[in-house]
Structures are given as C-alpha cells and as structure tokens.
C-alpha cells in the first residue's frame, strides 16, 4: 500500500487522471483491434460469431483476397478516389484561403459560413448529392442540357465511371472547408514583414507566392495533405449511402467492401482481413503524421 502511495506521488499522479479515459479506449478500441486481427486468421461466419468454436485458418483469408477481383478493385478505387479528392480539395481550398486572406468587407463572415459543409452529417451530404446527380430531375443534368453539352440525361450513379466522379465531387465538397481553414490559419503565421521586404526588393506577386508563401506553409501543407489522406482513405458513409459500392462493385472502397463481406455476406473473417489491410495502409501514412506533429511539440 505504501509503495503504491509512493508511486503516485509527484509526476505519476498524472497517470491517475489519464487512467479512466485510457481504460475506456483500451476496452472499446484496443481490445477490438486485437480481436479483429484474431478474427482475420479464423473462419468465422454467422454460425460461430458470438458462440461456438472457431478454427484457425492462418493466412487463408488474406491469400483469398489476392485472387478476389472485387478486393483489388476496391483497393484501386480507394487509392484513386483518395488521390483525386486530395488534389481537388487542396487546390480549391488553397485558392479560397488566399482569396479570403484579403481584407474585404465580407471576407470573415463568408469564410465562416463556408465551413458548414464540413459539419453536416455525411449521410445528409450523400443524400443531397444523390439529388443533384439524379438522372431525371437532377439539376446537373438540367444544366448540361441547357448548355447543350448533352442531349440525353446521364445516369450518373448507375454508370461506373460517372458514379466515381459523383462520389469525388461530394467528397471534395466536404473537404474544401477543411483545407481552406487550415491553410488560412497557416497563412496568418507568415510574418507580414516578409511580404513587405519582398515588395521593396521588387518581387512580383507570383514570385512572392513561390518564394515566400509556399515554402513557409510547408508544415501546414504537409499536415493538411496527410490528414486529408487519412480521412479520405477511410471513407465509408458517403460511398455506402450514395452508391453502396455499385453499380456491380464498381465503386466499392476497402471500407464498404469490408462492411459488405461482414454484415451482408456474413463472411466476418474475410471482412476483418480487408479491414486490416485498410488499417495497415492508414498506419503507414499515420507514421508520417505522428512524426510531423511530435516534431512540432519538442518536449
């Protein structure tokens, strides 16, 4: 008893404060992760999920994935979806951040309101974009028809290529505010004097952007892109609500395919294996993020 008391004197008291949250996360996140890894090495279906004996099949579930064309499509889809979203939301977000850094009357209030898309439940966003991209009543088809770019309505969500395009549009819409606000904050950290001395030295606007703004924003840009990658790569709700992976698996992502395997086909172990592949890729990218954030901390 005395030993325990001695241990929690001074700095170690801190542990007592952290303990409840840590135990909670251990029970509801830590344990499930381990359990999910174990599941992926077993053969679990609806029959032996909660009760019953489970056999270990080692790497069978993972090996099966390599021959599964839906898995490879999902992996490829997740990658191209993530990269496309990152490129567009970053460029638009950056442009908006630069624009709103100018001090005009509406700058602050409008920039504030533009954050709303980021806050809206993704299910609702998915529904709104389904409406915009609807075949017969969709406003996007109407606009294209009015501009005489098409003469027949496009079936956006039931054609593989265009379905992916619609998903990317919706996700970019969510991502723009996030990129904009982080880059806006990054811009405010650049000392004004630098711009002043650059203009005294006769640097043009383009030159100032490439020589001052961009290099000084490097840490912000890094974290925006890494965080964006992590958030986008694990996309789930949006795809599940908008296309459910269809038409014919054409827009499945790793997350939606994992869900389909587990909760629609009841191949829990194979679903877990897909989820673990997703996890490994995220952790790999996450290492860069952790490195970037802990570098800044210097403790």
Within positions 21 to 60, which residues make up the interface with another protein, using CB under 8 A? 21-22, 24-25, 28-33, 35-36, 39, 49-50
Angle at 264 (CA atoms; ends 261, 265), nearest 5 degrees: 55
Q: Give me Rg for the CA atoms of the chain.
A: 24
Interface residue with another protein among 96, 97, 164, 167 (CB under 8 A) is: 96
Indicate the DSSP class of residue 159: S
Interface residue with another protein among 88, 90, 94, 100 (CB under 8 A) is: 100
Residues 207-226 that bind another protein (CB under 8 A): 220, 223
Q: Could you give the C-alpha distances from 217 to 49, 104, 180, 224, in angstroms and in order?
A: 50, 23, 13, 10
The answer to the question of residue 166 lying near another protein (CB under 8 A) is no
Stretch in the footprint of another protein (CB under 8 A) among 57-65, 79-87, 113-121, 160-168 = 113-121
The answer to the question of residue 189 lying near another protein (CB under 8 A) is no
Crossing angle for the helix pair 268-297 and 218-233, to the nearest 10 degrees = 170
Interface residue with another protein among 46, 63, 91, 115 (CB under 8 A) is: 115
Stretch in the footprint of another protein (CB under 8 A) among 58-66, 68-76, 79-87, 280-288 = 280-288
- Residue 132 or 154: which CB sits closer to another protein? 132
Question: At 121, is the secondary structure helix, strand, or coil?
Answer: coil
Least distance in angstroms from the C-beta of 59 to another protein: 18
The answer to the question of residue 273 lying near another protein (CB under 8 A) is no
Q: 220, 182 in Cβ contact below 8 A?
A: yes
- Residue 76 or 142: which CB sits closer to another protein? 142
Q: 133, 49 in Cβ contact below 8 A?
A: no
d(CA 254, CA 276): 10
The answer to the question of residue 63 lying near another protein (CB under 8 A) is no
The answer to the question of residue 165 lying near another protein (CB under 8 A) is no
Stretch in the footprint of another protein (CB under 8 A) among 59-67, 83-91, 131-139, 209-217 = 131-139
The answer to the question of residue 131 lying near another protein (CB under 8 A) is yes
Crossing angle for the helix pair 122-132 and 139-146, to the nearest 10 degrees = 30
The answer to the question of residue 258 lying near another protein (CB under 8 A) is yes
d(CA 269, CA 39): 5
Residue of 214, 179, 180, 218 whose CA lies nearest to 194: 214
Interface residue with another protein among 3, 5, 102, 148 (CB under 8 A) is: 102
The answer to the question of residue 97 lying near another protein (CB under 8 A) is no
d(CA 291, CA 272): 28
Residues 2-21 that bind another protein (CB under 8 A): 11-18, 20-21
Tokens of 71: 């898995």
């Amino acid at each position: 008893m005395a030993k325990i008391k001695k241990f929690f004197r001074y700095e170690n008291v801190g542990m007592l404060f952290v303990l409840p949250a840590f135990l909670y996360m251990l029970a509801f996140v830590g344990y499930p992760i381990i359990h999910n890894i174990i599941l992926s090495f077993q053969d679990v279906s609806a029959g032996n999920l909660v009760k019953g004996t489970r056999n270990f099949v080692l790497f069978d579930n993972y090996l099966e994935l390599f021959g599964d064309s839906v898995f490879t499509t999902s992996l490829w889809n997740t990658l191209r979806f993530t990269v496309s979203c990152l490129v567009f939301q970053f460029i638009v977000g950056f442009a908006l951040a630069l624009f709103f850094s100018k001090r005009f009357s509406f700058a602050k209030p409008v920039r504030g309101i533009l954050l709303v898309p980021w806050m809206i439940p993704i299910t609702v966003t998915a529904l709104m974009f389904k409406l915009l991209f609807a075949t017969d009543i969709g406003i996007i088809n109407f606009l294209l028809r009015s501009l005489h770019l098409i003469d027949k309505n496009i079936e956006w969500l039931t054609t593989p290529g265009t379905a992916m395009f619609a998903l990317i549009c919706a996700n970019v819409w969510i991502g723009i505010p996030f990129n904009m606000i982080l880059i806006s904050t990054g811009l405010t950290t650049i000392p004004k004097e630098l711009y002043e001395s650059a203009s005294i030295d006769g640097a043009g606007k383009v030159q100032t952007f490439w020589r001052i703004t961009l290099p000084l924003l490097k840490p912000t840009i890094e974290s925006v892109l890494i965080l964006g990658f992590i958030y986008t790569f694990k996309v789930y709700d949006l795809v599940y609500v908008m296309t459910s992976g269809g038409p014919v698996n054409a827009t499945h992502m790793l997350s939606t395919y994992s869900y389909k395997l587990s909760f629609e086909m009841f191949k829990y172990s194979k679903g877990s294996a897909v989820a673990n592949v997703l996890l490994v890729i995220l952790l790999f990218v996450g290492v860069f993020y952790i490195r970037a954030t802990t570098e800044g901390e210097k403790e």
